[in-house]
Amino acid sequence: MLSIPGQGVQNCDGVTRRELMRIGGAGMLGLSLPGILALEAQAAEKPRDAGTRASGFGGAKSVILIFLQGGPSHIDIWDPKPDAPDNVRGLFKPIKTKIPGEYVSETMPLLAQQLDKATLIRSVSYTPNGLFNHTAAMYQMLTGEQADKVSPSGQLEQPTPTDFPNVGSQVAKIRPPDSPMLPFVMLPRPLQESNIIGKAGSAGFLGKAYDPYYMYQDPNGAVKLDDLSLRAEVSKARLERRSTLRSLIDSGMPELQKAVAPYALNEYYGKAFDLILSGKARQAFDLTLEPDKVRERYGKHTFGQSVLMARRLIEAGTRFVQVNWPSVANGDPLQTAWDTHAANFGPLKNIHCPKLDSALSALLEDLSQRGMLKDTLVLAIGEFGRSPRLGVSTSGNGNAPDGRDHWPYCYTAMMAGAGVKAGAIYGKSDATASSPIENAVHPTELLATIYHALGIPPDTITYNHLNQPRELVKAKPVLSLF
């Protein structure tokens, strides 16, 4: 059975069409995918007048958001400070990049040679309301809104249908794909801090029709065609989205073809079948179609293969792909988590940074060689950085002498493509990477920049579950990035 989250639509034909859509195990198709397509068609575009045609406006056709949940250490990766005191600069040496006179950490040798295609934004900064743990920070980064219900621990409540939508869901509604393809895909695992799973990862008040297609599976392993189940640590209640496009194709293609022929399906059912029968989504998820050297270049690990899959999805026509770092945000740093309270340097050097380095550098190189970087916007960012001083507590958490705590006051993002300046540095941090001293950028301004690049004015009005008007984001795009 196909599993694309969505809401049912009422049809004048009633049961007949619904029963038709169940043929070949496609019942969920009748209940969700046509609803997605119908609702997408209702989105009205804001007129684009001369005043909105500012630098970079409308230069992107698609977006790859690489969300490094957990908070990577900016000073140990993107923004080294070799002249800072010992308890700040850390153990890594700076290395030259393709940007003249600029350096990154020695942990990123491959990316250093591809930064002539990107801009490093070294001045991302915000001051949180109350404690700044992961979920509240992720919610702000991905929806553009401050959370209104925060527990004493700094965590949020579980996801609700009244949450603000993820940026990808907003894009899926306003800019649906031009061809039969999934509009928004999230992979390879949910956003998660402790038992708060999926917050900021849904369409919220837009309705389930605009939820992403959740590809929660490890692309580096043997992909099960009949199962998109979540990982073992995810609650059983979230195992409803279990089927894949490919299992439906592989097991039900003859029945689907027979079903289509005798009936004149309306526009949205026709589009739904176009998506399935075209096979584009199925092929985009199939990494065995890639040469081994390409897969090796991205890195034969979950993150690397997820980033490669994102490129394939964009190439096939998906509008927005969000790749989540494949670890619980507050997970064990000795495994795969960026949350380096207990240890910082060993995991970064031996585990995390090699994966980040291979995947990001391969993506920039690959998109450039394919001519896709000119209209694909890439943003790599976490919910915050790490404390410049070692061994201190900045968020109420305990930290080992070689650990770094949460730090939203200054950190780094990487942006590339769709007219973003190549080989540039935007903003500047102080001598200890503690705060911006030039061109501070709020995370919501980066969301506004994504909308702007897609040709969507950030102040476009959408309506919540109470039919109240809401701006996409209360921020201006950073036009100097273009």
Total residue count of the chain as it appears in this document: 482
**135 contacts 155 by C-beta, under 8 angstroms:** yes
pLDDT tens digit sequence for 386-421: 999 999 998 888 899 999 999 999 999 999 999 999
pLDDT category of residue 248 using cuts at 50, 70 and 90:
very low
**Bridge-based pairing state of the strands 406-407 and 385-386:** antiparallel
- CA 302 from chain centre, in angstroms, equals 15
Among 119-133, 145-159, 273-287, the range with the most confident prediction by mean pLDDT is 119-133
pLDDT tens digit sequence for 47-82: 444 444 458 999 999 999 999 999 999 999 999 999
Please check the confidence at residue 17 and state whether its pLDDT lies above 50. Answer: no
Specify burial of residue 142 (Cβ count, 10 A radius: 0-12, 13-18, 19+): buried
User: What is the C-alpha end-to-end distance of the chain, expressed in Å?
Assistant: 44
Q: Rounded distance, CA 89 to CA 93, Å?
A: 9
| Nearest by Cα to 190 from 163, 226, 166 | 166
Output phi, psi for 103, to 5 deg: -130, 155
Q: Rounded distance, CA 283 to CA 126, Å?
A: 41
pLDDT tens digit sequence for 179-193: 888 999 999 999 999
Ramachandran region, residue 94 (left: φ > 0; alpha: ψ -120 to 50; beta: rest)? beta
C-alpha atoms less than 13 angstroms from C-alpha of 114 in its C-beta half-sphere: 22
Among 46-60, 100-114, 223-237, 253-267, the range with the most confident prediction by mean pLDDT is 100-114
The residues, ordered by sequence, that sit 6+ positions from 161 with a Cβ below 8 Å of its Cβ are 204, 205, 207, 465
Which domains are present in the chain?
Answer: 51-221+293-481 (3.40.720.10)
Choose between 454 and 257: higher pLDDT. 454
pLDDT category of residue 275 using cuts at 50, 70 and 90:
low
